[in-house]
Structure 1
Amino acid sequence: MKPGIEWRQPRAAAENEQFADDLHAALSRTPKAISPKYFYDEVGSKLFERICDLPEYYPTRTELALLQTHATDMAAQMGERVQLVEYGAGALRKVRLLLDALPRERVEFVPVDISGPHLLSACNGLAGDYPGLAIHPLVADFTRQHALPARPAGARRVGFFPGSSIGNFTPAEADAFLRLAAAELTGGGLLIGIDLVKDHEVLHAAYNDAQGVTAAFNLNLLERARNELGAEFPAGGFEHLAFYNPAYCRIEMHLRATRPLALQLGGEIYSFHEGETLHTEHSHKYTVAGFQAMAERAGFRPGKVWTDANRWFALLWLQA
């Protein structure tokens, strides 16, 4: 661990217990569905990094281009002294473009992520490249109540939530997160990425890549259940399924049973008929006006918007 990084160690046993509870609940309901946050163990986090570099996956390169072009303007919205909180921090790739545009000696960085080992590795790399930057990584589920470090005197607390991850939430979950963020960022603001409504073929390709990396990412959730929780299910029993659902303006990802099978977890047996799915993720697509209206209802005041020439993706500044 690099000097100057304040690390908060996660409680692995408690995390596994929560995973088990949530998976039991997911398998008991009809239709079966679980939160996508359980994709992000160490293996899943690395697979997602590979997804971000795939030719079919436009969001990462489009958002990076927006940050490269407009980071100075975005930083100007934040102010001169900032406690920068990145929600779902991951590999800490995009935040570097913001850090380059902010006065380093006046920035405190608080990356929040559910995957502790992956976050620590990313923070060590960041500390080596940004000497003198105060980094306070926090292992937490940022969608639930969490204790951020005290804000430095005179600093504005600003959130950064890139990658269109807000699209993985149901409308009710998105509203709850925005209200939580509006409360803890009061006096500052939130820079957030959203994926925009677009041609269905572009969306389908992004979630069904030719190399099968997204499929491996999806299937890894069950491998994590096998390795961490002792779940038992037949090899080859599930396959990746992703499609656009126009009724909800969202991509859906599922794990589909290839044949009738049983999944055993903690002494309980859950049956799947052929073709039955475990819904693992949805990714809502927004219009700028629609998302701004939702953010305003949650307590934000809409500000500047940056989007690409195709209008495939947008970064929005929301004043808290």
Structure 2
Amino acid sequence: MAQRHRDHLPEDFSERSLAQDVRAGLTSSPKTLPPKWFYDKVGSELYEEITRLPEYYPFAAEREILLDHAAEIVGAASCRHLVELGSGSSEKTRALIEAVLATTPEGEQAAYRAIDVSDSALHAAADDLAARYPTLDIETVRADFEHGLAQALAVDEGEVFGGRLVVFLGGTIGNQAPDQRAHFLTTLRSDLRAGDAFLLGADLVKSPDVLLPAYDDAAGVTAAFNLNVLEVVNSRLGADFDAADFRHVAVWDAEHAWIEMRLEAVRDVHVRIADLDLEVDFAAGEQLRTEISAKFTRERLQAEFEQAGFAAAGWWTDRANRFSGSLWTPA
């Protein structure tokens, strides 16, 4: 079956984006770095290890939802075309793909479009899916959906696959601040057509006794994952961070209903970032925020989606009610 690739990003997109984010984040107060830079080769391997930790429930909980309810979700969306934002390995999406294939009438075409900024991740996932599902029409799109959503979701003239189910998994929406999330949902709503639907994976508010260990495990894997972002800046921008100068911190912010991951300087630190001609000082105890991970209630999601012009079309949780999958359609 057809396998196509489109690239909407310049070759140096990742390098320019990292430089912009590091300069802006390390010269702001408080200092920040966006979590997308966690995922170099080492960071991706550490994240895979995190998903297997007993404390880290989100990955397994979302996979449980998809395995248990994929057919119901696809039936409610009435779709034959899946579009995944931030697709990565596309591993959890297989349950949805299989449900689409099972319900596509003979003579009609099921399709999957994977959207990600990583060329290597897209090609690896596409090759795997093509081998598993030879009748599936596969398209990979290298795009930054945070800033180029309309381009990533664009439909070619004459392209007809029936309704689309746009999928955004992993609780990644929780990494967006409220104003970013509102902009994303409003933009998404304007880019959907009649008959399309949107499936969101979002983590739910729960006791800090459950949340905090998920981001600060006893084995220290999450700490290593967090500290590795300093090595990313070192290797790609010629910085001289020493990971021993920082420690991993996870904090539950009850007011905003989110976890913050931070790196705290254990002593006064001076860092030079050669490629940016930038020098940065950290006072002992100063913290660099590397991630927010917002947690939601059903009511909060309903309010945010309605504000953006969506109507609720389905709600599922894992058996322990830790994580949610919710379906939304243009109102």
* TM-score bucket (shorter structure): over 0.9
Structure 1 residue 123 corresponds to structure 2 residue 121: no
Out of 263, 267, 282, which is 1:259 matched to?
267
Contact (CA 8 Å) 2:117, 2:143: kept in 1 or not? yes
**What is the match of residue 144 of structure 2?**
141
Which SS does the other structure have where 1:301 is aligned? strand
Take 2:309 and 2:263, find their aligned partners in 1: how far apart are those partners? 36
Out of 176, 181, 194, which is 1:174 matched to?
181
Out of 206, 214, 227, which is 1:219 matched to?
227
**Cα distance, 1:10 vs. partner?**
5.1
Give the letter aligned to residue 242 of structure 2.
P
Contact (CA 8 Å) 1:167, 1:285: kept in 2 or not? yes
Take 1:7 and 1:141, find their aligned partners in 2: how far apart are those partners? 12
Structure 1 residue 184 corresponds to structure 2 residue 191: yes
Give the letter aligned to residue 32 of structure 1.
K
**What is the match of residue 319 of structure 1?**
329
Give the letter aligned to residue 95 of structure 1.
T
**What is the match of residue 60 of structure 1?**
59
Out of 299, 309, 319, which is 2:309 matched to?
299
The two structures, once aligned, show a CA RMSD in angstroms of 1.9
**Cα distance, 1:42 vs. partner?**
3.4
Contact (CA 8 Å) 1:164, 1:193: kept in 2 or not? yes
**What is the match of residue 91 of structure 1?**
89
What TM-score, normalized by structure 2, do the two folds share? Answer: 0.90
**Cα distance, 1:317 vs. partner?**
0.4
Take 1:209 and 1:225, find their aligned partners in 2: how far apart are those partners? 24
**Cα distance, 1:9 vs. partner?**
7.9
**What is the match of residue 150 of structure 1?**
155
User: Greater shift after overlay, 3-12 or 33-42?
Assistant: 3-12
Take 2:38 and 2:190, find their aligned partners in 1: how far apart are those partners? 28
What percentage of aligned pairs have identical amino acids? 37
Q: 1:67 to 1:200 in 2, by over 3 A?
A: same
Which SS does the other structure have where 1:53 is aligned? coil
Structure 1 residue 270 corresponds to structure 2 residue 277: no
| Unmatched runs of 5 consecutive residues or more in structure 2 | none
| Unmatched runs of 5 consecutive residues or more in structure 1 | none
Contact (CA 8 Å) 1:251, 1:284: kept in 2 or not? yes
Contact (CA 8 Å) 1:158, 1:185: kept in 2 or not? no
Contact (CA 8 Å) 2:85, 2:168: kept in 1 or not? yes
Q: How many residues align?
A: 318
Give the letter aligned to residue 196 of structure 1.
L
Q: 1:142 to 1:28 in 2, by over 3 A?
A: same
